[in-house]
A and B are shown apart, each in its own frame.
Chain A
């Protein structure tokens, strides 16, 4: 995982609440054995019209939104399935942070593992930010704050473990592998049996 310490960008707004993972990446695009290349299918059914032409009213199709790395989303973003394809698709689309007043558990976990920063702020603040998508917001991982050009600063929750992982670009697998001895001790004390032999 590549390290992430700071995101500074204008935002794309999807104000709708409860944007589920089937919208972020519809199931029919999950028939892949790769992590890459899902960006073109991100929000597919909102982004592309039935004839394959871009839907001009969809935020990600607006030219001035190109290259923006922050998504401002309605409450309960990422609900639904556990598909990690959702954060893969958003990263592939160029996003580095999702700001919402609520982000579904599994999506949040998956996002953190893929260098996509989930930023949870009060609903009223998110609503205000949504009014000014052309402001360049600065999100700083180390201090866990989001700053606006007007000088406001909002703290967001991020546990120190995830913070370290993001800042150092290390992944959780390395951390787990380093605890192999403890795992083996626990296993031989409590879970030694080969389970469910045929």
Chain B
């Protein structure tokens, strides 16, 4: 291998973090810049370390928050938070104890910087281009939006990173997904990624790191890029990434933990050099035309079942598809448009950021949600909540008849007591529609914040492009 061979963004990040190169006999030892932990996947890792008498190697490089099991309702009159179970409360307490014992910075329930792990690290500027970032959580791919190599790990690996700041890894294959052209009004980043997963399949990215490229991606703001990278794992990819550019640098310039002044300028020069070199090749290349992307939802029980809102649900050609249709109580040949909806959930690390809150508020302003619908709007972090409230978004949400909650994962994973009831149909801005994901027997349509909010208003799935036609008429 010559040194002047053109490299992809992934190649550059990989090379910069290899401590011991991989061989046929052993994976590489890869250095990890930033390790994020939360209450659900870390307790067994700390227990293992404690049992072996090992202290964290670089506690400054691990940051912790509480998000999965935490209630989104405020404390009751007795001052106690309404935890779903004693076990949930114990997990949260265990994290606090482990962080205190090992000198790890924790954004706890009292912190005004707390929130979903993949929302707060970018907000704080902990997430930076060129970093390797891991977390015991598959949606760590979100941070790839900044040109970081970010991926989910298991609990044993959480222990490895705590103990050595390194992981054993084999280099992945590369896949470029190039999206070019302008998106139609009413079509957003969530539709783009659902469309992509629909095209390449729920396992289409297996073994690969995806780099998203093209004019559509360049035109996206950081929040949209995070939505996109977030769901890379839903296509089976190890990670998803976007090369850093001025949009990225502008975000970091205002992030509290990012470098400042001369340090920022120096860092920026390094970040700008990370982009994939001209002439670098990918193992797989996919091209998507933005003009082909319509509002997209899922009809089945994995994210690969994404179809355009007005497209027919495909005929079941195997047992899995028949089972999914049966579970969802849908018929092949029908479109999802006009499907009656019971619950609408806006939030999660996919779509719980300020932009998402604004899009939802724009739909709800001056409207009320259908009386048959229960709608939860859950900001992804304290900062999102604060900024949204400063714009009066909470009041728009409440006036429309929806609930405005405290930040957390909430109904995305339904661990904290926020549940969709058995048989109910939810339109959700989260990232997984697996059987029972939002509660036993729950049925989930994944969709964009616009599609979700419009469904809440209509009580049925509706095409959010209608909103933009109507607005034109009004103007």
Contacts and interface: CB of A to CB of B under 8 A. Distances in A.
A23 B435 CA distance: 7
B156 A172 contact: yes
B236 interface: yes
B361 to A, nearest CB: 29
A105 B157 CA distance: 14
A104 to B, nearest CB: 6
B40 A31 contact: yes
Contacts of A104: 203, 206, 236
Q: Which of A16, A33, A172 has the most CB of B within 10 A?
A: A33
Contacts of B68: 30
Given A160-B24, A173-B159, A194-B60, A32 B87 contact: yes
Contacts of B167: 176
Given A76-B202, A105-B206, A173-B163, A82 B136 contact: yes
Contact of A31 (B206, B415, B422): B415
B88 interface: yes
A131 to B, nearest CB: 15
A18 to B, nearest CB: 5
B203 A31 contact: no
Nearest to A176: B164
Chain A facing B: main interface SS: loop
Given A106-B152, A176-B166, A28 B415 contact: yes
B224 interface: no
Interface in B32-73: 33-34, 40-41, 43-44, 47-48, 52, 54, 57-58, 60-61, 63, 68-69
Interface string B8-41: 0000000010011000111101010110000011
Interface stretch (B183-191, B318-326, B343-351, B373-381): B318-326
B296 interface: no
A183 B166 contact: yes
Interface residues of A, number: 58
Interface residues of B, number: 80
A105 B207 contact: yes
Given A26-B440, A182-B20, A102 B203 contact: yes
Nearest to B138: A82
A59 interface: no
B335 to A, nearest CB: 23
Closest 5 CB pairs of A and B: A82-B152, A33-B43, A84-B154, A110-B154, A31-B87
Interface of A: 15-18, 20, 22-23, 26-28, 30-35, 45, 50, 74-76, 79-85, 102, 104-106, 109-110, 113-114, 159-161, 171-173, 175-177, 179-180, 182-183, 186-187, 190-191, 194-198
5 contacts: A18-B302, A33-B43, A106-B154, A172-B156, A179-B166
Given A31-B40, A79-B203, A113-B157, 11 more contacts: A22-B434, A31-B84, A33-B91, A106-B138, A173-B163, A183-B19, A183-B164, A183-B165, A191-B31, A195-B126, A196-B126
